[in-house]
Amino acid sequence: MLNEKVKPFTTIDKWLLSRQFVGWGLVMASRIRKLISSLLLSDGLRQFRFSRQAMARKLSGRRPEVLYFHQPDDPYSQLTAQILPDLQARYDIDVKVLLVNEPTDEMAPERLALQRYARRDAAAIAPFHGLHFIDSGQQPSESSLKLARRTLAASSNLVKAAAEIGMAYWSDDTDKLDRTAMVSDDQTERVFVEGTRLRGQLGHYLGATFYFEGEWYWGVDRLPYLEERLAENNLRLSGCRQICHFQSRPEFMAGPSNGKRLTVEFYPSARSPYTAVAMAEILDLPNHYPVDIKVRPVLPMVMRNLPVPSKKGIYILADTKREADRIGVPFGKIADPVGEPVRRVYSLFSWADGQGKGGALLSAFADLAWAEGVDAGSEAGLKTACARAGLDWDEAAEIVGNDEWEVWAEENRLQMMKSDLWGVPSFRLLDERGEELFSAWGRDRIWLLAHEIQKALAS
């Protein structure tokens, strides 16, 4: 009746209404996050920032300036410093070298592993770039570092001197370091603190990094991006060639392999952007080389109580997007799967791997989370991932949510750490007896892994 008093909501009415609004809110929040991540990582916004920075420089009449942040006890800095004179000579730019301290513990939580790994990794990639670095098996002495820091702080031309001073430091040759540098320890520390402060203000945390008008470029691995951008700004001098190029994996060259078949252990994390863009290439390796892929997932760092500060996370996402665009892998519509989504997909991994589809399941999950902005841990998300991997969802629904995966995830982490690997994706190349031949971290080293496969097959 029209005049009938409207009844207040019952408890069940309120509950149903709240569930509807909560569900609607979650859907909208997910869509908004996907839209924002897609916008912030878009190539259009990146190019707009570049154009705005270049226009501001031209209007002010400033010379184009590339900042380089040098950490003397960092092997990657030593490699990169060798390129500085060429960079200055081949481009119409000013290269300004700033000295920085090592990253903080929250930025480098596995410091000793990082030191050991960086030395051998720098030594391994140096020849491919025409550079020089020898891993002595240990960090130089503290007295060498102290002298190197003072010598660097006193130098008036770090573009030329950084590599020379670094060579003496990494050789632990204190006689070649300036014992009479006219700077005190306090002055030296102020120089390094100021460089470290500026690096942080601009948004980074590592040594061996270049900064040019709003974007970061880490070491020789990202230097080609900087060179391409300088060339786009018409800053490469006439007749000069690019210094660094992206490395690529060699195609398999038929030769005497003696029937060998090697194993690549692949350590991914379902929450890692770098893993997401590496998945396809790693799982494709058996189509190019006589190798078997053994997928050994580990928990994400934040789920192992290791910090990933926002500054680090922001750089990783931007860098992953840049790399994904270069290699043609979709990335950028994000629904972060940290927490329960990772646990749920890991609970299905052993079952999927028993059918030879563990890698396919994780790859499908990563595509949903990092390229399509789908809640990959939801029932709908996991059902889609299973379908793409060729797995039966009815079977999966019976076992999803178990905690048996916790045992093997920890075993995988411990095995990875034995090789001084702590981040993902990581790889171990094993011979037919299961002995480690090579190990490396990062999608950046898939090309080097392929070289090591070729070498092992030829030996």
The reported pLDDT for the residue numbered 138 is 96
Number of domains in the chain: 2
Q: What is the mean pLDDT of residues 432-453?
A: 96
Strands 65-70 vs 94-99: parallel, antiparallel or unpaired: parallel
Based on the fold, state whether residues 175 and 312 are members of the same structural domain: no
- For residues 227 and 243, is the Cβ–Cβ distance under 8 A? yes
31 lies in some domain? no
The reported pLDDT for the residue numbered 439 is 98
129 lies in some domain? yes
Closest C-alpha to 369, from 355, 388, 351, 356: 388
Q: What is the mean pLDDT of residues 263-274?
A: 97
- What's the whole-model pTM score? 0.89
* CATH code of residue 303: 3.40.30.10
- For residues 229 and 241, is the Cβ–Cβ distance under 8 A? no
Based on the fold, state whether residues 375 and 437 are members of the same structural domain: yes
Q: What is the mean pLDDT of residues 179-197?
A: 92
- Judge whether residue 15 has pLDDT over 80: no
Q: How confident is the model at residue 57 (pLDDT cuts 50, 70, 90)?
A: very high
Based on the fold, state whether residues 200 and 274 are members of the same structural domain: no
DSSP per residue over 405-436, as a string?
Answer: HHHHHHHHHHHHHHTT--SSSEEEEE-TTS-E
The reported pLDDT for the residue numbered 24 is 42
Based on the fold, state whether residues 155 and 267 are members of the same structural domain: no
- For residues 112 and 161, is the Cβ–Cβ distance under 8 A? no
The reported pLDDT for the residue numbered 431 is 96
Based on the fold, state whether residues 301 and 360 are members of the same structural domain: yes
- For residues 274 and 442, is the Cβ–Cβ distance under 8 A? yes
269 lies in some domain? yes
53 lies in some domain? no
333 lies in some domain? yes
How far is C-alpha 237 from the geometric centre of its chain's CA atoms?
31
Q: 48: which residues sit within 8 A by CB, 6+ positions away?
A: none
Based on the fold, state whether residues 313 and 448 are members of the same structural domain: yes
Q: How confident is the model at residue 255 (pLDDT cuts 50, 70, 90)?
A: low
Max CA-CA distance within the chain? 101
Q: How far apart are CA 165 and CA 158, in angstroms?
A: 9
Q: How far apart are CA 168 and CA 177, in angstroms?
A: 7
- For residues 325 and 363, is the Cβ–Cβ distance under 8 A? no
Q: How confident is the model at residue 95 (pLDDT cuts 50, 70, 90)?
A: very high
Q: What is the mean pLDDT of residues 60-82?
A: 97
The reported pLDDT for the residue numbered 30 is 53
Q: Which domain holds residue 156?
A: 61-232
In whole numbers, what is the pLDDT of the chain averaged over residues?
Answer: 90
440 lies in some domain? yes
Neighbour order of strands in the sheet with 436-441: 291-295, 262-267, 426-430, 436-441
Closest C-alpha to 231, from 95, 70, 64: 64
Q: Which long-range contacts (CB under 8 A, 24 or more apart) does 143-149 make?
A: 143/174, 144/168, 144/169, 144/172, 144/173, 144/174, 144/177, 145/72, 145/73, 145/169, 146/185, 147/174, 147/177, 147/178, 147/179, 148/72, 148/73, 148/177, 149/72, 149/99, 149/188, 149/192
The reported pLDDT for the residue numbered 387 is 98
The reported pLDDT for the residue numbered 178 is 81
Based on the fold, state whether residues 106 and 206 are members of the same structural domain: yes
- Judge whether residue 8 has pLDDT over 70: no
Neighbour order of strands in the sheet with 65-70: 94-99, 65-70, 209-212, 215-218
State what percent of residues in the chain have pLDDT above 90.
78
pLDDT in tens, 136-180: 999 999 999 999 999 999 999 999 999 999 999 999 998 888 877
232, 252, 279 - which closes a domain: 232
213, 232, 251 - which closes a domain: 232
DSSP per residue over 27-88, as a string?
Answer: HHHHHHHHHHHHHHT-HHHHHHHHHHHHHHHHHHTPPPEEEEEE-TT-HHHHHHHTTHHHHH
- Judge whether residue 17 has pLDDT over 80: no
Q: How far apart are CA 46 and CA 137, in angstroms?
A: 41
Q: How confident is the model at residue 28 (pLDDT cuts 50, 70, 90)?
A: very low
Based on the fold, state whether residues 227 and 272 are members of the same structural domain: no
Based on the fold, state whether residues 222 and 282 are members of the same structural domain: no
Based on the fold, state whether residues 416 and 316 are members of the same structural domain: yes
232, 251, 278 - which closes a domain: 232
**Between 297 and 49, residue with greater pLDDT:** 297
3-state secondary structure (DSSP) of residue 174: helix
Strand partners, 99: 70
- Judge whether residue 3 has pLDDT over 70: no
Q: What is the radius of gyration, based on Cα positions, of the chain?
A: 25
pLDDT in tens, 362-387: 999 999 999 999 999 999 999 999 99
Based on the fold, state whether residues 134 and 67 are members of the same structural domain: yes
Q: How confident is the model at residue 39 (pLDDT cuts 50, 70, 90)?
A: confident
278 lies in some domain? yes
Based on the fold, state whether residues 83 and 187 are members of the same structural domain: yes
Q: How confident is the model at residue 114 (pLDDT cuts 50, 70, 90)?
A: very high
Strands 65-70 vs 209-212: parallel, antiparallel or unpaired: antiparallel
The reported pLDDT for the residue numbered 25 is 43
The reported pLDDT for the residue numbered 459 is 84
DSSP E strand stretches across 224-338: 262-267, 291-295
243 lies in some domain? no
- Judge whether residue 312 has pLDDT over 50: yes
pLDDT in tens, 315-363: 999 999 999 999 999 999 999 999 999 999 999 999 999 999 999 999 9
